[in-house]
Structure 1
């Protein structure tokens, strides 16, 4: 009978018998990594509720207010060969489409988003929209009477509003989406002319949409372009402000849905899909309507009276793929515009 040295027998028992048992007892990692450009104060409670319901640990990475959208997007691009995130929760569709164009996301058709209108989805399934905001003009009512309010974004460059308007840096966040959408809608010549006129008219370039809101509330400027959730915060605080949806008799007002995407080669794809399903649920849309006045894309979601209805807003028609490409090709110009005086 063949004999094994004691050490060899111990090793065989350990490697062939005991170790598989121990490995089988090891608890698998149950987590999901999400990168998001959505304000932490609104995104974090949603993610914590997902944790409570599923037992899956969420490891979020948030953007800063000043580099909104670009920070996590650049990180995802840098990590493309070795993905660290499972899900990208974007505050607008442009970054999601940009990542799709770079081959960084993969298709996932969540059953939770089945009844969301096709206009708010990528045709190839790389991202799905939910809970929309609108780009709005926030007006200080102590400084301007309703009869004098602009009705078109193009009005902001008129001499009568000289030194009265603020806009966030167009390199970042929803402002960059807004400007790129104007390039798509109006064309190169008209959009550049509008931006040049706006500069000559003394527009103030703020650090963020929140900064625009602050300047309007404090009366530093009469009005400013911002997001509807920022405007809602100002109104909740009792500030003397009103919201104007622009170009309702023309090309329409920009609507900005959140989007969610699954990253290609992500470390926890199954948990990523579960998080996507949760974000696209009616439950999440109702939470975001209550916390920051975002407009549900599902029909029949109960919302507070302060949340505007998408059915009552004439939207700007957007080709997201084209608009994403225009944003990329105009970055140098927009940087020069933002730094000019």
Structure 2
């Protein structure tokens, strides 16, 4: 999923820093008990950064220095700096990416963790989930006419051939999440012939129309170029919030929501402030902001949701086997690629 780079007062985004803080040019910072500094590495969107960071700064008096880049790039940076870390907190990225890099994060369970929804609490001892994003179908309400789209099965309608937008599951994390979601929803697991048969039929109906990225997929529906897109909830809800001619369909066969996570960097020089940040992103104020000011799915119980967001009790939720998917991602992508190649 593409992430925007945020630039705003009191938060420094430095590509020079990313280029110059490698293992050969480590920077040492001496923290004090009265430190009012926090270095945050984040792949998050501009909307999240520009809302949550200033709220945290105002409430705590702590000034955030932000380094913004893609999740993979930031994790590589953290690995290269682990003998002398510059960052205090990693804010964003999928839970599986944190699981794959346990050596660069340190143990911390926030006292606010007990307020999170069951299934999203910090069971690892170091990973704090703060929002979740689900795989959805975005539909253009002006183009849909009398075509019914309530779930994955409806996307096989011949009337939709060549009119469904999607990114490439082999290169887009959101498209890969859609792939595993539909395998689970349509086949019951990730290996069944029924699930993979559905994938083959769907991509035949997509008719080779693969978008350049996840952003291009949902934008093409909002712009009226395609009837439907396989995409994710956050940008879809932003279109609904801005009253675009779209609607969000949560597949009736089941929707998977995957957590975005945060953790304290091992060896943090401002660890007390890092703990305050982790506490804050799952506080009532921040979680209400995610759900009512932004277009993200909060994970704290009894949080506010904007009218443009659908209540979880109205969505058929199914649970991803993240352990299996993490271990078998290469095989899943290969099978998809073989199918896609065979129908081109």
Q: TM-score range by the shorter chain?
A: 0.7 to 0.9
For the Cα contact (< 8 Å) 1:213–1:231, is it kept in 2? yes
Name 2:120's counterpart in structure 1: 120
SS in structure 2 of the partner of residue 148 of structure 1:
coil
Greater percentage in helix:
1
For the Cα contact (< 8 Å) 1:205–1:338, is it kept in 2? no
Name 1:7's counterpart in structure 2: none
Q: Deviations over 1:150-199 (max 9, x none)?
A: 33335435544210111233333433333345566532354554444443
Residue 223 (str. 1) matches residue 222 (str. 2): no
For the Cα contact (< 8 Å) 1:181–1:323, is it kept in 2? no
Cα offset, 1:91, TM superposition = 4.7
Name 1:23's counterpart in structure 2: none
Q: How does 1:214-293 map to 2 (within 5 A)?
A: 214-246=219-251, 248=252, 250=253, 252-293=254-295
Give the Cα–Cα distance (whole angstroms) in 2 for the partners of residues 222 and 211 of structure 1.
Answer: 14
Name 2:203's counterpart in structure 1: 199
Distance of aligned partners of 1:31 and 1:175 in 2 relative to their CA distance in 1, 3 Å threshold: farther
Residue 93 (str. 1) matches residue 95 (str. 2): yes
Q: Deviations over 1:66-95 (max 9, x none)?
A: xxx433334334444543322222253232
For the Cα contact (< 8 Å) 2:149–2:155, is it kept in 1? yes
Structure 1 segments unaligned to the other structure (5+ residues): 1-25
SS in structure 2 of the partner of residue 137 of structure 1:
strand
Structure 2 segments unaligned to the other structure (5+ residues): 1-31
The structure 2 residue matched to 1:303, chosen from 294, 301, 305, is: 305
Give the Cα–Cα distance (whole angstroms) in 1 for the partners of residues 332 and 175 of structure 2.
Answer: 13
The structure 1 residue matched to 2:47, chosen from 20, 41, 44, is: 41
Residue 186 (str. 1) matches residue 189 (str. 2): yes
SS in structure 2 of the partner of residue 300 of structure 1:
coil
Give the Cα–Cα distance (whole angstroms) in 2 for the partners of residues 39 and 150 of structure 1.
Answer: 29
Cα offset, 1:266, TM superposition = 2.8
For the Cα contact (< 8 Å) 1:70–1:173, is it kept in 2? no
Distance of aligned partners of 1:309 and 1:219 in 2 relative to their CA distance in 1, 3 Å threshold: same
Name 2:162's counterpart in structure 1: 163
Residue 142 (str. 1) matches residue 142 (str. 2): yes
Cα offset, 1:262, TM superposition = 2.0
| TM-score (norm. length: structure 2) | 0.77
For the Cα contact (< 8 Å) 1:141–1:240, is it kept in 2? yes
Cα offset, 1:264, TM superposition = 2.3
Equivalent pairs, count:
307
Name 2:129's counterpart in structure 1: 129
SS in structure 2 of the partner of residue 119 of structure 1:
coil
For the Cα contact (< 8 Å) 1:295–1:309, is it kept in 2? no
CA RMSD, Structure 1 to Structure 2 (Å): 3.1
Distance of aligned partners of 1:298 and 1:289 in 2 relative to their CA distance in 1, 3 Å threshold: same
The runs of at least 4 aligned residues of structure 1 exceeding 6 Å deviation read: 332-340
SS in structure 1 of the partner of residue 316 of structure 2:
coil
Distance of aligned partners of 1:269 and 1:230 in 2 relative to their CA distance in 1, 3 Å threshold: same
SS in structure 2 of the partner of residue 188 of structure 1:
coil
Cα offset, 1:33, TM superposition = 1.9
Between 1:37-46 and 1:219-228, the stretch displaced more is 37-46
